[in-house]
A and B are shown apart, each in its own frame.
Chain A
Amino acid sequence: MLRVESITYKLNKRLLLKDISFSIRPGEMVALLGSNGAGKSTLMRLLSGERKPDSGRIMLYGDDLRDYKRKILATKRAYLQQHNPVTMAFSVKEVVMMGRYGFKGLPSAKNDETAVLETMELCGLLDFADRSMLSLSGGEQQRVHLARVLTQLWDNPDAVLLLDEPTNNMDLQFQHQTLSIAAAMAKKGYMIIVVLHDVNLAAQYASRLIILKDGRKWWDGTPAQVLTPQHIYTAFGIHAQAYTDQSSLKTVIVPKEIKLDAAKFNSNLQAAEQPIYNLANTSIDELATI
């Protein structure tokens, strides 16, 4: 299991994460929610080892992440970043295969080919196998990188999969396909941590939600426990209603529409606009001149 023990992280004296603790059991899929700048991506960077916490530690199966050997850790943890720019015209299949590059000499190396083919099929990439990465759209590229991180962990159900906004740029079908893959991986025993902006998508697929605000953990629990109108307002600053969908028994959030007064909206345009007439206070004679 993965245990985060009271981690704190500062960048240029700004406190980005403050005293965050939680733990995840095998088979759990946890979604991290929060507004922009709440610390979700920073937390993912710490979990991926890209940054080191200033205090606290992250334990995987009882050992500090920092004590793992690089090669062993690569079989136990994979990380899909938000942005994955590829600058050279690698083929889709080669990029997916890169997930296995660290396994030379390990026993799982002989399963490379099946891992690549199965993950490419799951991510709908079989027709793209020989296409250049540079010719793909943003959503398609994101699917290739998803297949790559899946390939990396394909033989190790005790691994942690970190997904930072995996549905970025994806169409509706693949947003759901991606999260259903993650949920299915969790069923096999993987630990999944996924950053999402779409609260309903999180409620539909994750077994547990954690809401961050200003670098702290505010709520942690099942979607029904966490997603109340009060919590949503506190975390995101928007009014919303929470329902339980009768057929799936999942929590569904319906945010209230935000209305802006167009008249007060753009002061540059205001001077040029037509004067606004209040019809109730206008006499018949004046109306005739309009």
Chain B
Amino acid sequence: MRRLSIYTLLSAGLLVSICFSLASGAMRIPIKEVIDTLTHNLGFTLFGNSDHGINQSVIMMIRLPRTLLGILVGAALGISGAAIQGIFRNPLAEPGLVGISAGASLMAVLIIAFETFLFSCLSQLLGYYLLAFGAFAGAGITAMLVYNLSKVNGQANVPTMLLAGIAINAMAGALTGLVTYLADEQKLRSITFWMMGSLGGATWQNVGCLFPFVGIAVFGLPFLAKGLNLFAIGENQVELIGLNPRRIKILVVVMATMAVGASVAVSGIIGFIGLLIPHLTRLIGSVDHRFVLPVSALMGALVLTVADLVSRLIVQPIELPIGVVTALMGSPVFLYILIKDKKKLVN
């Protein structure tokens, strides 16, 4: 019952924030017109008048893709964070912290910097897919690296995991810096965009490119929820209870890194969502992954939509990088977890 009301509340919140996101910005558009435009484009008319000219173009060409991108990226980061924390058996394992995002961004930067030499013949859409797959590969490699580095007697060891994350973040950062030096003026601009983390580059094209990557994770990961629950009582118990731990681990890592990698490819590193969202979900509901995974996706979408709204409105007309907003919201939560679980982290 409680779970149902959480779902309802979050969905309602998401709908409201979508409407606000479409209505607000440099040019204010009345909510009624927003709803009108949306319903008209879905094929039916609610208020009779459906021609809003320039407003309609602003919504359909600029704001809707951006909002959808925020929803996809938020859902991807939320659900991947929850799944990766489940595999690592630890609430601190976040894609940004353990280096998965850094690995993805390094690959993305490499591809941007060298694409002219290697893939000049590719069309733009294919280029986006290449970027997404490259980022996915970077994310997957770092995830496996960190997991295997931090595994002691079959269980992820937390201090080692965090230290490995620091090392990988530093290494990826250094290599990214190196690549930036080698890149020319125009490449430099696109690379800088990736490093900041922003939803500003949203187009229908990259929304369409991101959708399958995130869709597979959001619909696939909840099927592994029971297996992730079993990881909480130990990797060898998964096998004894009759599920295949290797298969679960590989599927989780592949789907989570696919979503994170593709998100990083289109929007750069947006920190703390993967950490903050699953933790909030566990606080309000339960730690059962059958609940945590879908709700983290929903809440991630909601929070990122709101964060994007804040980043656009707070210092108008300048747009704050969204990473700044999520870090402002996320780091206090991170500190709270650290203080609360300080003793547990030591042993």
Contacts and interface: CB of A to CB of B under 8 A. Distances in A.
Interface in B223-245: 226-227, 229-230, 232-234, 236-237, 239-244
Contacts of B90: 87
A148 B243 CA distance: 16
Given A90-B287, A91-B286, A94-B229, A84 B234 contact: yes
Interface in B74-124: 89-91
A70 B229 contact: no
Contact of B241 (A50, A84, A88, A102): A102
B288 interface: yes
A236 to B, nearest CB: 28
B314 to A, nearest CB: 35
Nearest to B292: A88
Interface residues of B, number: 22
Contacts, number: 67
A79 B234 CA distance: 12
Given A86-B232, A89-B282, A98 B240 contact: no
Contacts of B282: 88-89
Contact of B232 (A48, A87, A148): A87
Interface in B215-261: 226-227, 229-230, 232-234, 236-237, 239-244
Which 10 A-B pairs give the minimum distances between C-beta atoms? A102-B242, A74-B242, A88-B287, A71-B242, A102-B241, A87-B89, A88-B232, A101-B226, A89-B287, A50-B236
Given A48-B236, A98-B233, 15 more contacts: A73-B242, A81-B237, A87-B89, A88-B232, A88-B282, A90-B229, A90-B232, A90-B287, A90-B288, A94-B288, A98-B237, A98-B241, A101-B230, A102-B243, A145-B233
18 contacts: A48-B236, A48-B240, A70-B244, A73-B242, A74-B241, A74-B242, A84-B234, A84-B237, A86-B233, A87-B90, A88-B232, A89-B282, A89-B287, A94-B286, A101-B226, A101-B229, A102-B241, A103-B242
Interface of A: 48-50, 70-71, 73-75, 77-79, 81, 84-91, 94-95, 98-99, 101-104, 145, 148, 152
